[in-house]
Structure 1
């Protein structure tokens, strides 16, 4: 089984995924707007331009996916602290690069440091309200 994180935003999906692509690299494998879907004629222009679905491969078996909510369809976004995306890069240098890139403009909870349990670890909330953990442990490379 593969597990892919799926993120929802309130009109900021394109901006967020452009930012994530600037850190992870790669190209979008999907990037559809709401007006690409049938039955969206009644949406206002701003909602028609929102992201219906976007996909960005960020690893061999991992795709970061997302979409915008559509307020006129009754969607709401509740940001919370119950979910983190946990990344496991293959080197300390890559851990530092990812942490530094994704945490720009965000709120660092724990800076990257060697931890008592053996991992090189840090956590933060990015500028879009998404929570991330970065873990590196040489034993698992």
Structure 2
């Protein structure tokens, strides 16, 4: 299965634009693509979108390091995350602290960044959008 990638696709129930701005700040993410429902080359099926969703985000992608995270406002205003956690592998403790602290703004920390037997720093949290994150730091190489 060469050349296959699994990429997360997150749905924000009408808060996608806010989430993009948050992740750009918290993770130094770069916006790659943004398309609103009213920019679709084909009209949405009647009654598919909630009221006032025309200007919401149909599809966006951000680049975080070497990874792409795709996202949308979706069409379900009751969307809830569950059973998934995004994992970030940082290459310095400074980077791990910056990303963890950024994601924790307005969120809830389950495990503060702390040394573990598998990582010089590891922590977990749920951000203000309900997305679960694990942030770890790769051990420094002896090279």
Shorter-chain TM-score above 0.5: yes
Match runs of 1:1-141 below 5 Å:
1-37=4-40, 38-40=42-44, 42=46, 43=49, 46-60=52-66, 62-71=67-76, 76-80=78-82, 82-139=83-140
Greater share of residues in helix: 1
Secondary structure, counterpart of 1:108 in structure 2: strand
Residues 98-129 of structure 1, C-alpha deviations (whole Å, 9 max, x = no match): 00001111000000000133441000000000
1:25 deviates by 2.4
SS of the equivalent of 1:128 reads coil
Q: How many residues align?
A: 136
TM-score, normalising length: structure 2: 0.84
Distance in 2 between residues matched to 1:140 and 1:67, nearest whole Å: 38
CA gap 1:44/1:5 in 2 versus in 1, 3 angstroms: closer
Question: What is the RMSD of the two structures over their aligned residues, measured on CA atoms?
Answer: 2.1
Q: How much does 1:136 deviate? A: 0.9
Aligned counterparts of 1:26 and 1:113: Cα–Cα separation in 2: 24
Q: TM-score, normalised by structure 1?
A: 0.86
User: What's the secondary structure of 1:138's corresponding residue?
Assistant: coil
Contact 2:116 2:122 in 1 (8 A): yes
Moved more, 109-118 or 97-106: 109-118
Give the SS at the match of 1:55. strand
Contact 2:29 2:65 in 1 (8 A): no
Could you give the per-residue CA deviations for residues 1-59 of structure 1, whole angstroms, max 9, x where no partner exists?
Answer: 33322110110001011100012224311100011111138556621011101111111
